[in-house]
Amino acid sequence: LDSRREGDPTRPATDRISQPAARTSPRPPRTTRATMPKPLTDQEKRKQISVRGLAGVENVADLKTNFNRHLHFTLVKDRNVATRRDYYFALAHTVRDHLVGRWIRTQQHYYEKDPKRVYYLSLEFYMGRTLQNTMVNLALENACDEALYQLGLDMEELQDIEEDAGLGNGGLGRLAACFLDSMASLGLAAYGYGIRYEFGIFNQKIVKGWQVEEADDWLRYGNPWEKARPEYMRPVHFYGRVEHHPDGVKWVDTQVVLALPYDTPVPGYRNNVVNTMRLWSAKAPCEFNLKDFNVGGYIQAVLDRNLAENISRVLYPNDNFFEGKELRLKQEYFVVAATLQDIIRRFKASKFGSTEVVRMDLTKLPEKVAIQLNDTHPAMAIPELMRILVDDEKLSWETAWDICVRTCAYTNHTVLPEALERWPIDLFQNLLPRHLEIIYEINRRHLERIGSLYPGDFDRLRRMSLIEEGDQKKINMAHLCIVGSHAVNGVARIHSDILKASVFKDFYEVDPQKFQNKTNGITPRRWLVMSNPGLAEVIAERIGEDFIRDLDQLKKLLKFVDDEAFLRDVAKIKQENKMKFAAHLEEHYKVKINPNSMFDLQVKRIHEYKRQLLNCLHIITMYNRIKKEPNKFWTPRTIMIGGKAAPGYHTAKMIIKLITSIGEVVNNDPVIGDRLKVIFLENYRVTLAEKAIPAADLSEQISTAGTEASGTGNMKFMLNGALTIGTMDGANVEMAEEAGEGNLFIFGMRVDDVEAMDKKGYNANEYYNRIPELKQAVDQVSGGYFSPNEPGLFKDIVNMLMNHDRFKVFADYEEYIKCQEHVSELYKNTKEWTKKVVHNIAACGKFSSDRTISQYAREIWGMEPTLEKIPAPDD
């Protein structure tokens, strides 16, 4: 392996790691991690260790042995040539060993018990990193930490080598990841199905204030967590034509792409359950056209394989925006076609499905299978299931439709019209001709029913049709999902009400029983125990550790809201997190910030409806006020904004440039000093969120009322002890209910106010002319104050704000500024601020994804969560 060592018989390969340089003494406490503010008793230390997860000191020796074994025999390296990345892979394989036995046993358990299975179909799974999350869920973290310390290695350094699995844009994909964690922790027989994108969400670089996209080649070093399953490869068909025969319909002359599954284990929290996320990768079939080969076309035939494999090449980096590209439709059908083949294969192979009776009668499918469509991206599951049941299984249309509707359920994630998928008929006709026929037949029967319920109401028929007429006929995929599902849900109460009252009002009037609400949640394992261990320890010391499985237990913290020692502990942990994040920014971003300032964060996708521009106007207003009265005491703030703009979204990219330009002026003004800093957090992603959110004092959730479906970042900030400034939008409404509106900073128009303004007309000039500070800020942006070398740089943004701002930034400006004044005033009083923090943390129980998934299971899937453990592999 190393030319200097080859042929040296005196150096046995297996002793390379266990050299004298390795440590044998126990690991001292980390100074970078949060510790208790007073000396710990032995009992408290055990509790602290228990929260972090220690599998027992006796495991340390085994872990070291297994680490050695993987370094030598999996990676074929020794200590002389191994890199830090090799050590990371050796550690990942060592931890994965603890998953595999549980993984196999879980699948055996499902086969024996034959429970109903839920299949969560999503084009996005924003998983982030896997190593630390797995160690937390398996109670291995401290044992691994100690083992690596004794080997002379640092676990935190190795964790930082892992690439984020950035297979999502933002909230929708991260929600899917949290749901997988909860489904495993609740013991549900669940499977996540998606695409194994070769390139995930792009890496964002900020160059001279502009966003520049770089490819996210997350697989370039391999992925130790996945297992290829070529034995379950499935064919997926495209193009071709449809033949109708007396004995049925045939889809012929198709082009075939193979779907190769890669399985990733998803561990539950310390219950020995390990579920599966199966991601499909596109592969070209092996056959070549011999005719082409004979005339010298072999090379081209091989090169053309790339066209098929492009299907799983890259994640579309669009959030809340529909782009009708053929490749995107291919992706959507690809994942659905492969997944449904897999679902039916598993059903037929199960104890329940393997009897001859059931093989002939798939009407039992809904009793054993639940399919959840995560937004409209997997909507093709409905016509594809119909095609399989009618064309392949030879069931009648009526029987197949009953099976389809009882099996499928649909979650809507947005009310923005530009986000709703509408596919051109011409594209379908070419790519999926049989499915177009099926959709037409679904629509014919659907409109027949509506016509019988509302005779002569042709406008209603037009509104409710799956096919939208116009210059270009289009298929409305949301309508397809509603008609083909037995349950339709929004993701926050206000969002679900909007769906019923406006977006899908016609459908709600026809089938009110279909519509439900399932307020989103987050997993407390990743977003508290893992990302904020100091706070988890402080909480566990007061109320025990049951909150990790049952977040409602946090309500017990209310009895400590006047306990000065507890308030000091919470404040101390926050300050330590801020110092740690400030050090991270200095090391990685070369930015020095004041850790004693208020950390004011707005981190999410850059989009007009999320109103980063309102935040910008507040920054400029603060800047102008400090300049005007430089001798007055101002509560110091570090305002951090992070997020990615879709590469083709010009306005979003200009917003990033504006933020960085404002920061350039503010941060270099000697009059301002440390009282105000503006930082753009480059390449915001799950891993950065895990560092930033525990450090935040203030969380900005300032979308226009009625535009944010739910939000989950707001919940993560709340759980980690940040206070929310926000509008009554999405889940903010329920957060205010749970914590008490007085413990959040609520401002701005409500949904009714926005609707009333829409009716009378929004006039930005009215606010611009009436509010001097707003006029000053807008004039500075338009006049080039923040872009002196290009005075007209931001004219498009100003023009949008003044003339066609759908999200009414100016209408909420005045209240927002007043609310921010209240925030600054309260922040001076640490005790009162921390009391509000405790009220917020104590109110987080509702926002656990465990609660969300329990409701999905009982009210949509017909399943019962369980807290029972599967026996460990060695039991």
* pLDDT tens digits, one per residue of 123-140: 999 999 999 999 999 999
Average pLDDT over residues 680-694: 98
Catalogue the E-assigned strands of 268-310.
Answer: 274-283
* Rounded Cα–Cα distance for residues 591 and 292 (Å): 59
Active site residue: 70, 549, 578, 605, which one?
A: 605
Q: Tens of pLDDT along 545-604?
A: 999 999 999 999 999 999 999 999 999 999 999 999 999 999 988 889 999 999 999 999
User: What is residue 275's three-state secondary structure?
Assistant: strand
Q: Is the pLDDT of residue 395 over 80?
A: yes
User: What is residue 674's three-state secondary structure?
Assistant: helix
Output 27 or 676, whichever has higher pLDDT. Answer: 676
Output 706 or 21, whichever has higher pLDDT. Answer: 706
**pLDDT band at 353; cut points 50, 70, 90:** low
Active site residue: 422, 716, 839, 846, which one?
A: 716
**pLDDT band at 301; cut points 50, 70, 90:** confident
**What is the overall mean pLDDT for the chain?**
92
pLDDT of residue 305: 81
**pLDDT band at 307; cut points 50, 70, 90:** confident
Least confident stretch, 344-348, 358-362, 666-670: 358-362
Q: Tens of pLDDT along 236-263?
A: 999 999 999 999 999 999 999 999 999 9
Q: Tens of pLDDT along 443-462?
A: 999 999 999 999 999 999 99
Catalytic (active site) residue 109? no
pLDDT of residue 304: 79
Domain-wise residue ranges, the chain? 114-129+164-212+225-520, 597-830
Average pLDDT over residues 823-849: 98
**pLDDT band at 293; cut points 50, 70, 90:** low
* Residue 660 DSSP label: H
pLDDT of residue 785: 98
Query: In sequence order, what are the beta bridge partners of 677?
Result: 638
Closest CA to 537 of 498, 576, 503, 483: 576
**CA angle, residues 628, 658, 315, in degrees to nearest 5:** 150
Catalytic (active site) residue 69? no
**pLDDT band at 357; cut points 50, 70, 90:** low
Q: Tens of pLDDT along 639-653?
A: 999 999 999 999 999
Least confident stretch, 5-19, 29-43, 357-371: 5-19
* Rounded Cα–Cα distance for residues 839 and 557 (Å): 8
pLDDT of residue 25: 66
**CA angle, residues 200, 206, 210, in degrees to nearest 5:** 110
* Rounded Cα–Cα distance for residues 540 and 537 (Å): 5
Active site residue: 330, 610, 657, 846, which one?
A: 610
Residue 32 phi, psi (nearest 5): -85, -15
* Rounded Cα–Cα distance for residues 842 and 278 (Å): 36
Average pLDDT over residues 630-635: 97
Give the CATH architecture of domain 114-129+164-212+225-520: 3-Layer(aba) Sandwich (3.40)
Catalogue the E-assigned strands of 87-141.
Answer: 117-121, 125-128
862: left (phi over 0), alpha (psi -120 to 50) or beta: left
* Rounded Cα–Cα distance for residues 120 and 124 (Å): 11
Q: Is the pLDDT of residue 310 over 70?
A: yes
Residue 290 phi, psi (nearest 5): -65, -30
Q: Tens of pLDDT along 405-427?
A: 999 999 999 999 999 999 999 99
Catalytic (active site) residue 610? yes
The residue whose two tokens read 């479906």 is 709
Please, where are the H alpha helices in 361-424? 365-368, 381-387, 397-407
Catalytic (active site) residue 518? no
Residue type present at position 33: R
Least confident stretch, 128-137, 215-224, 862-871: 862-871
Closest CA to 551 of 853, 187, 833: 853
* Rounded Cα–Cα distance for residues 836 and 358 (Å): 58
The residue whose two tokens read 């850059």 is 606
Q: Tens of pLDDT along 56-73?
A: 445 899 999 999 999 999
Catalytic (active site) residue 835? no
DSSP line for 5-56: TTT-TTS-GGGSSSSTTS--SPPPPPSSS---SSPPPHHHHHHHHHHH----
* Rounded Cα–Cα distance for residues 367 and 746 (Å): 45
Q: Tens of pLDDT along 499-530?
A: 999 999 999 999 999 999 999 999 999 999 99
Active site residue: 129, 196, 406, 413, which one?
A: 413
**pLDDT band at 16; cut points 50, 70, 90:** very low
Catalytic (active site) residue 712? yes
pLDDT of residue 43: 44
Q: Is 597-830 the same fold as 114-129+164-212+225-520? A: yes
> Do residues 275 and 184 make contact, with C-beta atoms less than 8 angstroms apart?
yes
pLDDT of residue 875: 83
Average pLDDT over residues 332-358: 85
Residue type present at position 695: A
pLDDT of residue 4: 33
Q: Which class would CATH give 597-830? A: alpha beta
* Rounded Cα–Cα distance for residues 461 and 507 (Å): 11
Please, what is the angle between helix 564-589 and helix 533-543, to 10°? 170
